Structure formats: C-alpha cells, structure tokens
Chain A
C-alpha cells in the first residue's frame, strides 16, 4: 500500500471515530436534556402559579411548596410503601426464579421458568394493567395497597430474576456439590452456600426492583384508588390542569434520590465482586 493510501486510511478511520463520537455525544445530550430541563424548570418562576415553557424568572419557592403540598406528600408516602413491599417480594420471588432457571434438576422445569420470564418481559404493561383490573374486578377483590403491590411485582421479578440468573451462571456448581458431599442438606446448601454468594446480585436486584416499582406508572394507573395514589399516578393525573412548578421540584428531588440509590447499588455490586475475582 502506498504511503498516501495509508494516510488516507488513517484519516478515514479518524473521520469515522469523530463522527461516531459526535453521534454518541448527541445521544447522551438528547437523553439528558429532559432531566436537566426538569431541574431548570423547578427553579422557574412561571406565571400565576402555572409552569411556563419560557423561563420567566428564578425562584426557590417550589421546593418548600412541594414539601407543603399535602396530596403530593401523601402520594410520595404511598409510593415509598408500595415500592418497599414490591421490592421485598420481588427480590424473594425473583431470586428463586433466577436460581431455578439455571439450577433446577429438571430440564423441562428450567425451560418453563425461562419461558415464563421471557413472557414477563414481552407483555406490554398496559395489557398487564387492564388484565389485573379485570381480574380484581371480576373476582371481587377490592383494590388496596396489597393488590397494587401484587400487580407491579411481575415486572420487578423479571428484572431481579435476570440479574440473579447472570450471577448464578458464574457460580461454581462444584461448591454446591462439595457441600452436599459433606452432608449438607439441599435446603441448608441453598441457605448457607448459595444465598451468601448471591448477595451482591440480590442487593443490586432489590434496588433495581425498588426503582422500577417506585417509578411504575402504567400498571399503577389502573390499580390506584383515590385513597392509594402513588407519585407517578398523581403527577399523571395532575397534568390535565397543567402541572404546578412544584411538580418539577419534587421530580428533581426524586431524580437525585434515584440516582444516588443506583450509585449505591453499583458500588455494592462492584465491592462485593472484587474479592471474588481476586482469587
């Protein structure tokens, strides 16, 4: 290849790299733009207590306003409660599912559970939402916090199951066999040998499940009642008469909260993983 050809190829590669980098940067900017916008609008004065697209001035008043808004506060409270129970149930059920998909002794059981997880991921949320509404209405079960929690668990379970499954795939089966050879019952092995090894995946899973449950809108929209109104459903409802700027203040707080939770999850996962990769 001539010198010019090599130079040309190098310039071509550089051009491709630059173009891809620009595309990536544009994507990140696009993805973050609404988040920054929400934070900026939380300081926007607005016009007569209404949010406006144009920035009319700066104020800090929406943060105390959000704090003092009773219905907003109640919706945050119920969101926290619902997400707590959903995360707790999802991590238990999801961990069992993720483990059984990999380690169940019967191939057919593994296949059925894997298919079930797959189906969980591909049924649109709105279909699950209306199905649950129909289910509760026709079985005569009154809507409550419990029905809402049960309704939003399937998706969180799928997320936990995938995380746990990925972790179980990296575990040495021989460790479990050694425990069995040393006389440990299967239940004891699961509890004392498998569970501790799954800890980082469970921690990551519980936080992911919490985040998803806290944020759930579509299924919740069908299952909430005036008494149990979660934050996303409350915000969704409030959009009809134009969101109060206080909404963005609450949203900004939730953003910071969610991101720090995810940061903690990532940290736990990495810290717990490190010693294992060392040996």
Chain B
C-alpha cells in the first residue's frame, strides 16, 4: 500500500503551497511592517531619525498631556459613535430580516450600494450638505427644526454624524444576518406561550442577536479608533483623534518612535475591544448553523 501514502504526501505538498502563498505574502507586507511599528515604539527619537533602544519614554509621552487626552477622547468617541451606530442600525436590520418579504434582496442592496461607492467623495459631499447654505440647512429650516444658518461643521457633532454615516451599513449587515437566522419556531413558541411581541423581542430576539451585536460593534469601533479622514474633513481643528495624531507624527513631526507608540496603543485598544466582545458572544458558537 504505497500508493495512498505517496498520494497523501503529494496532497500535503500542494496544500502547503496553497497555504504558503498567503502566509508568505502577508508575513512580508502586513506582519513585518506591524512588527517594525512595535519595535520602533520602544526606540529613542533622536535628531533627524530614530535610534533603536528599549525605552518606555514614547509611551509616557503618548499617554500624558495632549496626546493622552487625544487617546482618551478617541476611545470615548469610538465607543459612543459605535453605540449610536448600533442603535440606528438595529431597527433597520430588524426590518430587513422580518418585514421585507419578497423585496428583501433589493432592500439589502439599497443599504449596501452607498458603502461600495467612494468613501472620500461621500464624506466630501456630506461636508457640502452640512455647510452653511447647504441642503441640510434648507431642509431643517423648512421643517422648522432649526432656524437660521447651520453651524454644525468643524464641531464634534459633525464628526459624530460622519462616523455614524460612514459605518452604518457595516453595522446593519451582521445584525441582519443574525436576526435572519433566529429560528422562526422560537418566536412562534414565545407567542403561543402568551408573550407579547415586545416581550418576545426583549427575551428571545434580543438575547439571540448578541453575536450580531458584537460583530457590529467590532466592525464599527475598530475603524473608528483609527479614523483620520472624517475628523479632518468634518471636525476641522476641533476633532483631532488618534488616527490624525499618529499620521501627523509620521508626516509632519517626523517623530516615528512616538507615532509608532501611539499606533501600538490603538492596537492595544482594539485588542481590549475584541476580548470584551468575545465575552459577549461566549457560548454562541453553535448558533446560526
């Protein structure tokens, strides 16, 4: 019986090649650069460059004063914008999963299409909409919701609106997927046992949608932690968040070591979010299969 073992050996080699291609590519163009950032975050910044060392000086600078405040603000901002996104997305996902019937595919596509068109151009247009004399002002004045010129640009509110705008679709999708997979008989059972629709929602649907909630939060909070375009375009000088602060360390101040430490802090914040959200979905591995 030499043939099977030989074929299984060659089977392995082909499979190893298939696995090695992405592993090698990503090791060089993704993991190695991240490794550089981690190493340089402990380096010493000297005039005109960086000197390899092992110091926590960069982390101290990154966590105190103006930088520390930016880091804290970024976390609060990302968490609250993500929560707002989730609150806005949940009813949409619920509607898509339960109320769209045969038009469901179109209803889902309508949510996704904007996400696939140019991010920058949408944010630029949002800027135009929100500026003085723009459409938002006209509409709000016509509805008597606001009188006179609209001064929302270059405020934190504008950045908030922009963040929710940009990440709403990717919050809706995981929620929709999970809500769609909740077995119908469970809901019927709840109704047959006399629970009101509200009770069914609170005690059956909501707990079962936890994995979707966790994914939605993850997919929105992570890019928000590193977001640099929306704060710059909509928040002006008042909305500086981590992404922008890091980029200015690299592009303007040329303090690579400090910038690297700030980037590592963002990664750590992401790691903490992942761990917290993983706890939220504990014991859910079997759902939706």
Contact residue among A130, A137, A153, A259 (Cβ-Cβ distance under 8 Å from B247): A130
Q: Is the CB of B122 within 8 A of A35?
A: yes
Give every chain B residue within 8 A of A81 (Cβ-Cβ): none
Give every chain A residue within 8 A of B135 (Cβ-Cβ): 33, 37
Residue A175, interface by CB 8 Å: no
User: What CA separation (Å) do A103 and B256 show in the bound complex?
Assistant: 41
Please indicate which of the listed interface residues B29, B40, B92, B123 has the most CB atoms of chain A within 10 Å of its own CB.
Answer: B29
Give every chain A residue within 8 A of B18 (Cβ-Cβ): 96, 99-100, 104, 190
Q: Please name the residue on chain A nearest to B263 by beta carbon.
A: A127
Give every chain A residue within 8 A of B7 (Cβ-Cβ): 180, 185-186
Number of interface residues of B (CB under 8 A): 85
Give every chain A residue within 8 A of B107 (Cβ-Cβ): 24
Residue A134, interface by CB 8 Å: yes
User: What CA separation (Å) do A106 and B25 show in the bound complex?
Assistant: 20
For the residues of A in contact with B, the DSSP-based class is helix
Which of chain A's residues 145-200 have a Cβ closer than 8 Å to chain B?
A: 150-151, 153-154, 157, 161, 180, 185-187, 190
- How many inter-chain residue pairs (CB < 8 Å) link A and B? 255
Q: Is the CB of A134 within 8 A of B129?
A: no
Residue B132, interface by CB 8 Å: yes
Q: Is the CB of A239 within 8 A of B233?
A: yes
Residue A203, interface by CB 8 Å: no
Number of interface residues of A (CB under 8 A): 89
Contact residue among B21, B29, B121, B267 (Cβ-Cβ distance under 8 Å from A255): B121
Which of A51-59, A66-74, A271-279 is the contact stretch? Answer: A51-59
Which of B61-69, B181-189, B205-213, B219-227 is the contact stretch? Answer: B219-227
Contact residue among B50, B197, B228 (Cβ-Cβ distance under 8 Å from A218): B228
Residue B53, interface by CB 8 Å: no
Q: Is the CB of B124 within 8 A of A239?
A: yes
Q: Is the CB of B274 within 8 A of A122?
A: yes
Give every chain B residue within 8 A of A99 (Cβ-Cβ): 18
Q: Is the CB of A259 within 8 A of B128?
A: no
Whether A125 touches B223, Cβ cut-off 8 Å, given contacts A96-B21, A105-B15, is: yes
> Contact string, B104-131, partner A, CB cutoff 8 A, digits 1/0?
0001011101111111111111101101
Give every chain B residue within 8 A of A157 (Cβ-Cβ): 22, 25-26
User: What CA separation (Å) do A215 and B166 show in the bound complex?
Assistant: 14
Residue B23, interface by CB 8 Å: yes
- Smallest distance from the beta carbon of B250 to chain A beta carbons, Å? 5
Please indicate which of the listed interface residues A122, A138, A153 has the most CB atoms of chain B within 10 Å of its own CB.
Answer: A122
Residue A80, interface by CB 8 Å: no
Give every chain B residue within 8 A of A12 (Cβ-Cβ): 197
Q: Is the CB of B121 within 8 A of A251?
A: yes
Q: Is the CB of A122 within 8 A of B222?
A: yes
Q: Is the CB of A135 within 8 A of B131?
A: no
3 tightest A-B contacts by CB? A124-B226, A97-B22, A34-B125
- New contact pairs (20) apart from A124-B222, A130-B246, A266-B109, CB-CB < 8 Å: A23-B91, A23-B95, A31-B165, A33-B129, A37-B126, A92-B21, A122-B222, A123-B222, A124-B266, A126-B247, A130-B247, A131-B263, A135-B32, A135-B36, A211-B116, A215-B118, A215-B120, A232-B119, A239-B124, A262-B113
Interface residues of A (CB under 8 A from B): 9, 12-13, 16-17, 19-21, 23-24, 27-28, 30-35, 37-38, 41, 51-54, 89, 92-94, 96-97, 99-100, 103-105, 109, 112-113, 116, 120-135, 137-138, 150-151, 153-154, 157, 161, 180, 185-187, 190, 211, 215, 217-218, 221-222, 232, 235-236, 239, 243, 247-248, 251, 254-255, 258-259, 262, 266
- 23 A-B contact pairs sorted by A residue (CB < 8 Å): A24-B92, A28-B111, A30-B165, A34-B126, A53-B131, A93-B22, A96-B21, A96-B22, A120-B30, A124-B223, A125-B223, A127-B266, A130-B263, A131-B37, A134-B37, A135-B32, A138-B40, A185-B7, A190-B14, A215-B118, A217-B119, A232-B120, A248-B125
